[in-house]
Structure 1
């Protein structure tokens, strides 16, 4: 882990997506942060020590999902598949499929394995899986403010964790998607899916992979817009919303909370999801696992 002394920074952005506003001046206390996302090898140690069974390895109960289609009550997780032709980016079902037998040990489906992926970030972890690992390790999941402070690496007012350009002088600084998503990935960064941790330069604090590679869970419940304090106040150690504020208003009958995810993933592209930035944020239901969601931990004090 890397020790951060904490301090003040400006959280948020006005340059990309509305949920990143407003700009809020924030102060965080000192904390330690994992140098990289939790890897498959590290997660395997946790599972061996505790017998933990991830959400993706348990068949969903139809009682918890009214209207579940027949035959869908089987263990599985969401797996990304490139489209065979260029398609619009308005319908994620064109590139996501719920795959029976996909889980952290089988990241691309039941016939896949972790061979050669020990140092890649673990994926197919729901929020409770990440929280269980953190508790076992004597750590915690970061708040959104802690995560963003760490990701910025000491840079103020920059769009990216390394400056103002996505690829300065043509150098790829993180594992993202190059080309037309979800059809053609030119792999200028060398990777089509996840990459080994530390494959790209660290930020100013020496932390790797906070941008791209995999989305990372935080401890905070989603809130569409962070509240800006009146006057000249600096918010100390802010937390997100509540379970109630986190519900998806487009699905009023679904009462599954959503947590904040940060950092973007290897599927973020210039034509889709430009969330490969410290200020970017995304709401994800806590029961969801996918082939591009992982996490890292913090320790406070």
Structure 2
């Protein structure tokens, strides 16, 4: 009995070892199979790859058109390499190089591209004459004498004897004895007494436009040259000089420096016939804009009383706050009074400068005096001499724009205003320029003063760059219309003022005022509950100007 048990145990152990060996062999065989393939359990033959597996991780399994699922460089979206014998894009054929637009200029060799490695050469390309290159693929380089440089319809090769002057070419009538061969026949014609070349009934020696029929002899500028052939209709120029040959006389050509001061009208000369007035000239305090910068007598004591400015460097800045839940506000814009301040964005701004303080009654009055601005709608504070250094109020946004334009500036955008308020740490989220604590009357807000104060009266209400009164005194206009969802769609680079008016034509206001609590006087406050109509001003609303960086 014991010997039988022992024999049985030996047999079981042997059976176990055989089974274990078979199992290990099966595992090794399984690991040796190619990826995606398996053996048929009954026949042992390899089955087809699984068409749903993306083995090369190129985003396309065989079922979706991958013709080689072991090569990630081959798939329906792959770039085809022409003439290499490989079908990279799995369209069934290798691309022939004659059908490939390799320089991406819109033309293949089969469509006439004579150099498919150079995008500057293709059919229809503008040809550069005599450079040894066939840009338009017509088989030859264009000779310069075949180019009609003056646009008169003929080239030098076609007989144009002055291809820089559109008034000279074969077929034109020659002006007799003027020293110019207008018809390119090789000589200037001789005048004959009593000749009427244009057939208008007036002999040439009496005709103010002898080559163009003009029976009325109209001469609006009385320079002796008829209107039909005058190169400056509204400026007297009997010599018809045209130094740049553009058929516009020097007397009226914006591209010509008529007074010899180094600047033409198109280059900024605001007095093109006065050589003492030009961009960069010294301002002489003479009621004239000598330096052509758009402001009369800038820098002159007692005359130029515009605000000093603070330069703001280009760079990133936060726009908006974290005072509301952006997702909740998107579902219900009325869920929080701060919904128009979210989401907080990171934007890039170009360099600009901004006024140190709000525009005062005295400064605004100067603009009114010179006729560039209209008085405030309510003049009670504006007309009080004791309030000359208080911010001007009761002006509309349009009036604010008018002042800033006169002062050679503009209203700041909301992003620029907020960037100025953030000082030297524009990427730090906070409520006020100095932090999150307003303190006790650090700025002129509610319960501090009954009304406005002189600008810069609160020295603690300033940024670390020296911009005053952004939190208190009066709210301020910015450029554009109010849009409660603007921060969600504003561009990331230099967000402009909203160009489209909303249903109620409301305007945003920035900063706090003497009549507002601290919660409505933050650097991100946009005017919720206190938005203003574009046709009206308020007694707690003013403005300051900004300027583009030079």
TM-score (norm: length of structure 2): 0.38
Q: Which residue does the alignment assign to 1:106?
A: 380
Query: Which one has the largest radius of gyration?
Result: 2
Task: Tell me the alpha carbon deviations over residues 249-276 of structure 1, each in whole angstroms, 9 at most, x when there is no partner.
Answer: xxxxxxxx22221012111115xxx221
Distance 2:431 2:374 in 1: 38
Unaligned runs of 5+ in 1: 57-102, 179-186, 249-256
Q: Hey, what's the Cα distance between the residues in 1 that align with 2:322 and 2:453?
A: 30
The aligned residue for residue 477 of structure 2 is: 217
Which residue of structure 2 aligns with residue 4 of structure 1?
Answer: 312
CA distance in 2 between counterparts of 1:124 and 1:223 reads: 23
* CA drift at 1:234: 7.8
Q: Deviations over 1:275-295 (max 9, x none)?
A: 211111023211111111100
Pairing partner for 2:524 from 270, 275, 279? 279
Alpha-carbon shift at residue 120 of structure 1 (Å): 0.6
Paired residues for 1:1-301 under 5 Å = 1-15=309-323, 17-50=338-371, 52-54=373-375, 56=377, 103=378, 105-107=379-381, 113-155=383-425, 156-167=428-439, 170=440, 172-178=441-447, 187=448, 191-200=449-458, 201=460, 202-228=462-488, 235-244=492-501, 246-248=502-504, 257-270=505-518, 274-282=519-527, 283-301=531-549
Q: Distance in 1 between matches of 2:470 and 2:485?
A: 22
Q: Corresponding residue for 2:49?
A: none
Deviation per CA, 1:174-232: give whole Å up to 9, x if none.
11003xxxxxxxx3xxx210011111122111000111111111112111122436xxx
Q: Is the 8 A contact 1:54 1:126 kept in 2?
A: no
- Which residue of 2 is the match for residue 59 of structure 1? none
Given that residues 342 and 487 in structure 2 are in contact (C-alpha distance below 8 angstroms), is that contact kept between their aligned partners in structure 1? no
Q: Partners in 1 of 2:350 and 2:372 — Cα distance?
A: 34
SS in structure 1 at match of 2:368 = helix
Give the secondary structure class of the aligned counterpart of 2:521: coil
Partner SS state of residue 203, structure 1: coil
Using the TM superposition, give the Cα deviation of residue 53 of structure 1 relative to its aligned residue in structure 2, in angstroms.
Answer: 2.4
Distance in 2 (alpha carbons) for counterparts of 1:234 and 1:241: 11
Q: CA offsets per residue over residues 129-165 of structure 1, 9 Å max, x none? A: 1010011111000000000000122341111122110
Distance, in Å, in 2 between the alignment partners of 1:9 and 1:260 is 20
Which moved further from structure 2: 44-53 or 234-243?
Answer: 234-243
8 Å contact 2:311–2:352 — kept in the other structure? Answer: yes
Contact 1:22–1:225 under 8 Å retained in 2: no
CA distance in 1, matches of 2:370, 2:383: 20
Structure 2 gap segments, 5+ residues each = 1-308, 325-337
1:89 corresponds to which residue?
A: none
In the alignment, is the contact (CA less than 8 A) between 1:7 and 1:28 conserved in 2?
yes
**What is the deviation of 1:55?**
6.3
Provide the C-alpha distance between the structure 1 equivalents of 2:321 and 2:430, rounded to a whole number of angstroms: 9
| Greater relative contact order structure (CA < 8 Å, 6+ sep) | 1
Task: Output the CA distance in 2 between the equivalents of 1:264 and 1:130.
Answer: 18
What SS is found at the alignment partner of 1:228?
helix
Q: Would you tell me which structure has more strand in proportion to its own residues?
A: 1
* Alpha-carbon distance in 2 for matches of 1:220, 1:154: 26
Shift of 1:6: 2.6
Contact 1:25 1:234 in 2 (8 A): no
Partner of 1:60: none
C-alpha contact 1:223 1:242 (8 A) present in aligned 2: no
SS at match of 1:134: helix
1:104-128: CA deviation from partner (whole Å, max 9, x where unpaired): x313xxxx94131111100111111
Is 1:36–1:208's contact at 8 Å kept on the other side of the alignment? yes
Counterpart Cα distance in 2 of 1:7 and 1:139: 21
Q: Is the 8 A contact 2:372 2:402 kept in 1?
A: no
